[in-house]
Chains A and B, each alone.
Chain A
Amino acid sequence: MAHEAAEGAHGPMEQFEIHRLIPINVGGVDISYTNSALFMTFAVGLTFLLFWGATRRRLMVPGRWQSVAELIYEFVADMVKSNAGKEAMPYFPFVFTLFLFILFGNFLGLMPYGFTFTSHIAVTAGMAVVIFVGVTILGFVKHGLHFFSLFVPPGTPLAMCFILVPLELFSYMIRPITLSLRLFANMLAGHVLLKVLAGFIIALGLFFGWVPLLAVFGITLLELLVAFLQAYVFALLTCIYLNDAIHLH
């Protein structure tokens, strides 16, 4: 029956299809405004609404929305401060943007008829590569060639260096891949699972359909947690990479 659902008009992968809403082509490069771009626009718009609306009055004793805005702000600010130190605070707006973008992207994807742009490897890899390149440049600007000492853990005997340096270099180089794959795979798996289970509800009918319905309900709650958690992990890892670049061990 799962097969039937997968091959039907609404397969589990169909939700990830990109539709060109406004086809644009500049110099042979396709930059069409797609459903993915639409939800990115929603994410930006909602973030703007939240922060602009919540901080319009700037009360000493915050209201509900102002509390939400302050809570998110302090959450990310504390994350940057405790993981990358006070010197990383100039990059706080970047980490904050990253967190909000992914958070809203994940949550918007869980809305009915929503599109999850964080479930596209192009998007997650785009962000991960920018972070990787940016952090590496920052490291070289801050420490010059000393930045290479990042690949030699402190107190390593010289003989061990021949094994450890390639290992460290490898683990550094795969950072953009792990960073982008983690978010991409989590979002993809969650949405596929929800779709497949939702297909079972119809297929099993009125009597047995309740079982997958309950499962979908539970997994939706879990996905809400994952949506927050993945945004948090992405921002947290960015902080840790920043820390590596700013404070060499």
Chain B
Amino acid sequence: MPQFDPSVFSPQLFWLLVSFIALYWLVAKVAVPRVGEVLEQRARVIQEDLDRATQLKAETDAAAAAYEKAMADARHQAQDHMRAMQADVKAVSEKRTADITGQIGKQVSEAEARIASAKQAALDAMKGIAADTARDVVAKLASVTPDAGAVDAAVAAALKETR
């Protein structure tokens, strides 16, 4: 077997050493740094993308939460407005109702007073008419001109009775 010929050991071992060292230098100086750089860079880019995606997702979540909050706030505000408005409307209407009621009451009482005074005037006028009528009736029937004072007294008495 050529493998066990000792004369071929030294050239093989020498060139093994030379080529192995050459290859080692090549691997350590070219292959490993270059491929390592590519792999590292790729891992970094992927990690950065993942980080950015996480960050964007957080931002989206925050924006969504802010939107929800704004909506809830607006709804609350609107409800508050409505409630305030309703209270205002109620107060105004109550005030107006009270005003009108008061006015009407005053007008009613004024009207009542006017009616009472008119009635009094009518009664007073009636007294005169009754006295005149009574004097005329007496003068016609008895041809006597009655005393004016007596007639007035009699009419007053009669009115008192009818009342």
Cross-interface CB contact of A184 among B3, B8, B13, B17, cutoff 8 Å? B3
Extra contacts besides A55-B35, A101-B20 (8): CB < 8 Å: A13-B2, A18-B2, A33-B11, A37-B18, A40-B19, A48-B30, A59-B38, A126-B12
With an 8 Å Cβ cutoff, the count of chain A residues facing the other chain is 49
In the complex, are the beta carbons of A123 and B16 less than 8 A apart?
yes
Query: In the complex, which residues of chain A have a beta carbon less than 8 angstroms from the beta carbon of B22?
Result: 44
In the complex, are the beta carbons of A47 and B38 less than 8 A apart?
no
With contact pairs A58-B34, A70-B38 given, residues A97 and B2 touching in the complex (Cβ less than 8 Å): no
Q: Is B153 an interface residue (CB 8 A)?
A: no
Question: When each residue 144-175 of chain A gets 1 if its CB lies under 8 Å from chain B and 0 otherwise, what string results?
Answer: 00000000000000000000000000000000
A70 → chain B closest CB, angstroms: 6
A57 → chain B closest CB, angstroms: 10
> Closest residue to B32 on the A side, CB-wise?
A93
Q: Is A62 an interface residue (CB 8 A)?
A: yes
Cross-interface CB contact of B13 among A24, A97, A119, A126, cutoff 8 Å? A126
Residues of A whose CB lies within 8 Å of any CB of B are 13, 16-18, 20, 24, 29-34, 36-37, 40-41, 43-44, 47-48, 51-52, 55, 58-60, 62, 66, 69-70, 73-74, 92-94, 96-97, 100-101, 117, 119-123, 126-127, 184, 188
Query: In the complex, which residues of chain A have a beta carbon less than 8 angstroms from the beta carbon of B20?
Result: 97, 101, 127
Could you pull out 30 A-B pairs where Cβ atoms are within 8 angstroms?
A18-B11, A20-B11, A29-B10, A30-B10, A36-B11, A36-B12, A36-B15, A37-B15, A40-B16, A43-B23, A44-B23, A47-B31, A51-B30, A51-B31, A51-B34, A62-B38, A69-B35, A73-B31, A73-B32, A73-B35, A74-B39, A97-B24, A97-B28, A101-B19, A117-B16, A120-B12, A122-B3, A122-B9, A126-B13, A127-B20
Question: When each residue 40-77 of chain B gets 1 if its CB lies under 8 Å from chain A and 0 otherwise, what string results?
Answer: 01100100000000000000000000000000000000
Cα distance, A34 to B10, chains bound together (Å) = 11
In the complex, are the beta carbons of B38 and A31 less than 8 A apart?
no
In the complex, are the beta carbons of B45 and A60 less than 8 A apart?
yes
With contact pairs A58-B37, A70-B35, A122-B9 given, residues A16 and B27 touching in the complex (Cβ less than 8 Å): no
Cross-interface CB contact of A93 among B17, B27, B34, B38, cutoff 8 Å? B27
In the complex, are the beta carbons of A100 and B23 less than 8 A apart?
yes
Cross-interface CB contact of A18 among B8, B27, B45, cutoff 8 Å? B8
In the complex, are the beta carbons of B2 and A31 less than 8 A apart?
no
In the complex, are the beta carbons of B41 and A60 less than 8 A apart?
yes
In the complex, are the beta carbons of A94 and B15 less than 8 A apart?
no
> Closest residue to B24 on the A side, CB-wise?
A97
Cα distance, A43 to B16, chains bound together (Å) = 11
Cα distance, A184 to B12, chains bound together (Å) = 14
Cα distance, A33 to B8, chains bound together (Å) = 11
B6 → chain A closest CB, angstroms: 9
Q: Is B123 an interface residue (CB 8 A)?
A: no
In the complex, are the beta carbons of A34 and B31 less than 8 A apart?
no
Query: In the complex, which residues of chain B have a beta carbon less than 8 angstroms from the beta carbon of A119?
Result: 3
> Closest residue to B37 on the A side, CB-wise?
A58
With contact pairs A16-B3, A30-B7 given, residues A40 and B38 touching in the complex (Cβ less than 8 Å): no
Cα distance, A70 to B39, chains bound together (Å) = 8
Query: In the complex, which residues of chain B have a beta carbon less than 8 angstroms from the beta carbon of A184?
Result: 3
Cα distance, A127 to B20, chains bound together (Å) = 9
In the complex, are the beta carbons of B31 and A16 less than 8 A apart?
no
In the complex, are the beta carbons of A44 and B10 less than 8 A apart?
no
With contact pairs A55-B35, A70-B38, A73-B32 given, residues A34 and B15 touching in the complex (Cβ less than 8 Å): yes
> Closest residue to B38 on the A side, CB-wise?
A58
Query: In the complex, which residues of chain B have a beta carbon less than 8 angstroms from the beta carbon of A73?
Result: 31-32, 35-36, 39
